[in-house]
Structure 1
Amino acid sequence: MPMLASLGVTKLWIPPACKAAAGPGGNGYDVYDLWDLGEFEQKGARATKWGTKEALVRMAGAAAREGVAVLFDAVLNHKMGADFCERMVATRVEDKDRRVDMKVDGDERRQDIEAWTGFEFPGRKGRYSRMKWNKEHFTGVGHDRLRGEDGVWKLEGKEWAEDVDEELGNYDFLLSADIDHKHPEVKAELFRWIEWLPSQLQVSGLRLDAIKHYSFSFLRDFVAHVRKSIGPDWCIVGEYWREDSEFLARFIEFMDHQISLFDVQLVSNFSKLSRMYEKGDLRKVLDDSLVLWKPDHAVTPVASFFLPLAYAIILLRANCGLPCVFYADLFGSIGQHPQPNFANFVPPTSGGAILPKMMLARKLWAYGSQYDYFDEPHCVGFTRVGHSSQSSGHGLAVVMTNAWEYASKAMFVGKQHAGEVWTDLLRWCPGQVSIGMDGWGVFPVGYRSVAIWVNANAAGREFVDTFVL
């Protein structure tokens, strides 16, 4: 935690820490019991996949001591791993359009089915909450045990929430037992749970899973309840996976600007450009991205060969949202199926040497006015001129290319830097750049890479140059 804080990390998004249906084998998105944070013997173990409640509390405490806010991953759309089945009447609907009833057994749409909708949480024995869930608390299910069939069934007397994403006609149902957020007992339970959570561990925000699948009005009420009952400063990020930044901007406005969203369009742009290799047009990297609509409410994750370029964009540009750095890109990963002695270890991006330097560059020098040079399809750049309140006013220049040849770009960094000698922080591009009396310099970049040019004598430069993760 001290090391992460020193790199400028201010928030830590952790995996879902509630008991999963698959017990220690579940990632947490197969949520079983919100009130079990690895404390009770349920689903074959006391701990979740990620550890015990005590370990969770210790981790959150260590983060708080370093000024790092923990974002809790809340899965509130569905429940899985029910304790018993219930008999019920339901209507099977078309999987590709949930508004349309499917014709089954001739023309009979309503069916008697058996579904996993009974939750008693026997291991918890009513601790923290006495609510037991049954079919009345759900709108639909994804499996009929009576016939042994998977599908989508809407329960009798229930309707899908109308204010959800219109994909598949109505995207209220995602999987398993779909929670009915209109039910008063459900709403009260979820409000009690979020009030209880910060009493158990030091948490300062939420990442809300799959929010396109449940009532927008419920979500707005839920977020307003968090702001009023817990604290106005909580960071709340929603996962709304839709490649339509204008729609997401309107959604943020509907939420009274009380929630941030992942910048899906920017992720898509990174992905498309990385697959096109040298044919990709770097001038279009920010086209239609959420950061252009709502820069203060966009969260920006990234993906593969393009990683160093993508990280340079989200970490070092002004008004580019809240950058999201992934654990595996810093420390490496052991994959989905760990092997003994870490035999399948996947090392971090560029051996772990590049991303920390970019994070430190953001912390030290990514300040002041920005000048953009997105004027060539295969070589683009931008500069930050620095601010007197940060690191003695030193700035930086970023240039990147997706071509298989060296490139360079003339860019303005400010007359206050005249006469300075700048070098590439990443050491991928050799040589020096002398800043002219007019504040301009010509900054080179190696093929298919990025260069971050900073005054060789800038405040903090020696620390960054010698930093080892």
Structure 2
Amino acid sequence: MEKNSLMMQYFEWYLPNDGQHWLKLQKDVDHLHEIGVNYVWLPPFCKATSINDVGYGIYDLWDIGEFDQLGSVRTKYGNKEELLQAIQTLHQKGIHALADLVLNHKAYADGKEKFRVIKVNPDNRQETISDPYEIEAWTHFYFPGRKGKYSDFEWHWYHFSGIDYDATNDEQGIYLILGDEKGWADDQSVDNSFGNYDYLMFADIDYSHPEVREHIKNWLEWMIKETGVRGLRFDALKHIDSQYIKGLCEEIRETQGEDFYLLGEYWNPDLSNNLDYLAAVDYQIDLFDVGLHMNFFQASQAGSQYDLSKIFKGSLVEDNPLVSVTFVNNHDTQIGQPLESRIESWFMQHAYALILLRQQGIPTLFYGDYYGIQNGEKSPAYQEIIDPLLHLRKYHVYGEQVDYFDHYNTIGWTCLGTPEHPYGIAVVMTNGDEGFKEMTMGELNAGAVFVDYLNNHSEKVELDDQGVGVFPVNKTSVSVWIDQKAIWN
């Protein structure tokens, strides 16, 4: 039987640093399976700068909570044994675990090295603002706590393209590391912000170096075998050479098979940039639909002044739904983060309906939206208004989808069902005053009586002999109309 895919991002930025997250995930697997989740995006699980680090300040790829390094054995989320058990428990329920790959940079080196650099303008990395000179910086990674287990590879200055701290002069900046065949990645292979956005933070990994490419290949093979993950989420893709990513994806496909899932974060809301990137990597990975998220953010800010009929304009899911992963919020959009763009509460059910109750793209359920946020940013749990949408997605979002995006404030669509899932849905939402949408559910639904599954509207709608009904919606609300027999059954 066909099944609608659903991903869950199983973390948020302000999770408590208690080392209990992998244990909590294990206990939650039955519930995730029940609500229809079949992909779980795990937080970065390699050793980072400290146990307070969400995981993006990466230190040692080969330490997934096993070695006493940087002050602890565990990561923020727990130890290796707990991680592996959580992944195994997910897979026993048919849920694919995805590892979050932080391959752009490394942080908190074990030692300093001397090498030549040239300082560049932070606002234009192609513009040099110094002559070449020697600095001493933290670029030597030898992982004394791991003592060579799994890999004896040591990172040196020549494995990086840039650094942000000159220890000799106690000065911060952006420094291009000099050497044979060194430099930023080709302009066409990274985002063009700041002239060339190869450099993001910490010690920037140089993927033109053959030792680096071989090391990452070896680590990936080990990590996938060691953990059993069945997919990867690539972090910060717009800062990494796209030709390297293309080749890496080809190698992964060859070793892991076509059903091994690959997903990338290319944080740029411009559709043309996303399409150019997808073409550059031969469409081997899906991308998060940042453009759609920004539409949601703007709609939640603008209220009734936003043209809801254009909510999908410029989105990846509208242009190419086969490679789009849709989302409402994530860890980067939370309050206090550089990409802060959290959806307002009044629009939360609208936004989740727009990704969960449609058949295009793979929707993502964000841990912080579902379970709430207790530390740092205070945010309520929206589970009560999301759960009905998850039920509808699992059992009723099937069949032909027909859109009625013909009004500035009130839009709707229908999913007409299939023989396996005969009870379809009629969705109506507005960001303005109460309204309605006349839509058809087809002759098979002639005379049926529909009710709002979300209980946002109390009326009943009786369809005519052609299956046409007038479906109302309350002010700034969402209603999902379904044959009342589907609820009784």
TM-score, normalized by length of structure 1? Answer: 0.92
Q: Which digits, 9 at most, give the CA deviation of each residue in 1:308-353, with x for residues without a partner?
A: 111111111132x11011112222222337xxxxxx6x4312xx21
The unaligned stretches of length 5 or more in structure 2 are 1-28, 329-342
1:421 pairs with one of 449, 452, 455:
449
Q: What is the RMSD computed on CA atoms of the aligned residues? A: 1.3
The answer to whether the aligner puts 1:129 opposite 2:151 as a matched pair is: yes
The answer to whether the aligner puts 1:443 opposite 2:476 as a matched pair is: no
Between 1 and 2, higher relative CO (CA 8 Å, sep ≥ 6) is seen in 2
CA distance in 2, matches of 1:82, 1:59: 30
CA distance in 1, matches of 2:120, 2:224: 39
1:58 pairs with one of 85, 94, 98:
85
CA distance in 1, matches of 2:34, 2:178: 55
1:94 pairs with one of 109, 113, 121:
121
Aligned residue for 1:100, secondary structure, equals strand
CA distance in 1, matches of 2:283, 2:104: 22
CA distance in 2, matches of 1:129, 1:379: 58
Change (3 A) 1:462 1:57: farther
Q: Which digits, 9 at most, give the CA deviation of each residue in 1:267-289, with x for residues without a partner?
A: 11111111101111101100011
1:401 pairs with one of 404, 409, 430:
430
CA distance in 2, matches of 1:41, 1:431: 62
* Number of the residue aligned with 2:4: none
The unaligned stretches of length 5 or more in structure 1 are 104-108, 338-343, 464-469
* Number of the residue aligned with 2:405: 374
Q: How many residues align?
A: 442
Change (3 A) 1:33 1:462: farther
* Number of the residue aligned with 1:410: 438
* Number of the residue aligned with 2:299: 273
1:310 pairs with one of 351, 367, 382:
351
Aligned residue for 1:288, secondary structure, equals coil
CA distance in 2, matches of 1:31, 1:270: 31
* Contact 2:243–2:280, Cα closer than 8 Å, also in 1: no
1:151 pairs with one of 152, 160, 173:
173
Following TM superposition, by how much is the alpha carbon of 1:233 offset from its aligned partner in structure 2, in angstroms? 1.0
CA distance in 2, matches of 1:64, 1:230: 16
* Contact 1:195–1:230, Cα closer than 8 Å, also in 2: no
2:98 pairs with one of 71, 74, 80:
71
Following TM superposition, by how much is the alpha carbon of 1:254 offset from its aligned partner in structure 2, in angstroms? 2.5
Range with bigger deviation, 210-219 or 192-201: 192-201
* Number of the residue aligned with 1:356: 387
Q: Which digits, 9 at most, give the CA deviation of each residue in 1:137-189, with x for residues without a partner?
A: 00110111111111100011121110211111111111110001111110001
Aligned residue for 1:335, secondary structure, equals coil
* Contact 2:301–2:344, Cα closer than 8 Å, also in 1: no
CA distance in 1, matches of 2:283, 2:366: 25
Following TM superposition, by how much is the alpha carbon of 1:304 offset from its aligned partner in structure 2, in angstroms? 3.0
Matched-pair identity in %? 39
TM-score, normalized by length of structure 2? Answer: 0.88
CA distance in 2, matches of 1:72, 1:126: 23
* Contact 1:90–1:113, Cα closer than 8 Å, also in 2: yes
Structure 1 runs, 4 residues or longer, greater than 4 Å off: none
CA distance in 2, matches of 1:292, 1:406: 27
2:326 pairs with one of 278, 300, 309:
300
Following TM superposition, by how much is the alpha carbon of 1:247 offset from its aligned partner in structure 2, in angstroms? 2.4
